[in-house]
Copies of this chain bind each other. A is one copy, B any other.
């Protein structure tokens, strides 16, 4: 496949990435090749030239799609938090009472677990990379911060009637998103790791001190929320 969809067709050598399908856009092919290199070679050791070679594209064609590897990494990182962030905006609106906040939190955890599980290259491995602490990644880190704030708000509301658990919302938010991100660690340890999304979402609620019954009700209500 060439960049024909945006530019006149150019004849390049055969693509080195064997697992792309003809339906994949050049942009997606570039992102996938970049992600594979970033998580195996490191960000600093990955050149745009190596990415272009992996896609079987000329560097000039690659620059038509992206200004550079930072732009690719930003897009990959943002894609890993965006589904949760989007669904959280809707969930936050209605989840005022503790029970509905528990259901919303359960639903948000399911969405994030699915996103992190389905991310082909486990890009979350790079969240703590020194390179990603740079100002160029401010937007991504702000988005992840927003997602964490949604966990904090839902967690605080869900735990309102639980006695004996009194943690600042901000601390709670960091614990909850951290728990969900165990997916990244498990996939790193074992590429074949099966992630039990329900066990993980239930663990988030148990961390808040919710009872087994309350967690079961939240699990059912969460499915309804996500189907809506």
Residue numbers of A with Cβ under 8 A of B are 38-45, 124-131, 133, 145, 163-165, 167, 171, 174-175, 178-179, 181-182, 184-186, 188-189, 196, 199-200, 203, 206-209, 212
Contacts and interface: CB of A to CB of B under 8 A. Distances in A.
A90 B40 CA distance: 37
Given A203-B175, A212-B164, A188 B40 contact: no
Contacts of A178: 178-179, 181-182, 185
Contacts of A189: 145, 174
Given A128-B128, A174-B186, A175-B179, A207 B203 contact: yes
Q: What number of copies of this chain does the assembly contain?
A: 2
Contacts of A196: 167, 171
A188 B188 CA distance: 20
Contacts of A185: 128, 174, 178
Contacts of A38: 130
Given A182-B178, A184-B128, A167 B206 contact: no
15 contacts: A42-B43, A42-B129, A42-B131, A126-B128, A128-B184, A128-B185, A164-B212, A165-B212, A167-B196, A174-B182, A178-B179, A179-B207, A206-B206, A206-B207, A209-B212
Nearest to A126: B128
Nearest to A45: B44
A121 to B, nearest CB: 11
A189 to B, nearest CB: 8
Contacts of A206: 165, 206-209
